[in-house]
Structure formats: structure tokens, C-alpha cells
Amino acid sequence: NAGVTQTPKFRILKIGQSMTLQCAQDMNHNYMYWYRQDPGMGLKLIYYSVGAGITDKGEVPNGYNVSRSTTEDFPLRLELAAPSQTSVYFCASSRGDRYGYTFGSGTRLTVV
């Protein structure tokens, strides 16, 4: 049971560079989410998707973009990386709005 798979696990970016964080789930969940976790700040929702072709902004979307071309994949794109985007990024999926989330193991991103 793979669940939610995130790659890469670690990445260092220079200011202004771009990258895509990959997320894939094999549970046929319609709902997928991207969160960032900063020390002492809890998890903040960046973007979410309720199904293929549908995405929407969460609480902290600035500086990020997403796409959802298939049920399985939900990549997060960072354009023009900034030090404020240094964080741990978690992808999650769910059967629906009132169900528990299954999280990936995270991507630790440092922007220098």
C-alpha cells in the first residue's frame, strides 16, 4: 500500500529558481491537498483539488501553482523561489470533505 507518495524528500533551491513537487496517490481519492508546515505554525493549506481538472486556492496560495490532470497526480509548482518558501510541504488525499486525510511523508525545501 503506497498511499500518498511525495518526491523529492529534500531539495535546496536558489532564490529565483523554480521547481515542481510531485505528489501521487493510489487510493482513487478525489480530494487532494497541499499544505506547508513551518515550525510552531501548524499546517497551512496552499491549494486543494476536488477532482481531476478542478483546483482552488487555500489559505496561502501566493507563489505557488497546481494542476490536476489525473485523479492520481497533484503536482505543486514553485515559480521564482523565495526564502519565505523554505518549509516542509505535505501532500494529502481524502475520500471527501468529512473524511480523514492521508498524508505523504513530506518534502523539506530550503531556499537560499
Partner 1 sequence: TQLLEQSPQFLSIQEGENLTVYCNSSSVFSSLQWYRQEPGEGPVLLVTVVTGGEVKKLKRLTFQFGDARKDSSLHITAAQPGDTGLYLCAVQTGANNLFFGTGTRLTVIP
Place of cell 496561502: 60
- # binding residues, partner 1 (CB under 8 A): 25
Question: CB of 15: closest distance to partner 1 in angstroms?
Answer: 26
Closest distance of CB 86 from partner 1, Å: 17
Residue 2 interacting with partner 1 (CB under 8 A): no
Q: Which stretch binds partner 1 (CB under 8 A): 19-27, 66-74, 75-83, 104-112?
A: 104-112
**Interface pattern 6-45 for partner 1 (x via CB under 8 A):** -------------------------x-x-x----xxxx-x
C-alpha–C-alpha distance, residues 7 and 22, integer Å:
5
Please report the beta strands in the chain, taking only residues with DSSP state E, as ranges in sequence order.
4-7, 10-13, 19-25, 31-38, 42-51, 54-57, 64-66, 76-78, 87-94, 102-103, 107-111
- Of 78, 70, 21, 79, the closest CA to residue 49 belongs to 70
Contacts with partner 1 by CB under 8 A lie at 4, 31, 33, 35, 40-43, 45, 48, 50, 56, 58-59, 90, 92, 97-98, 100-106
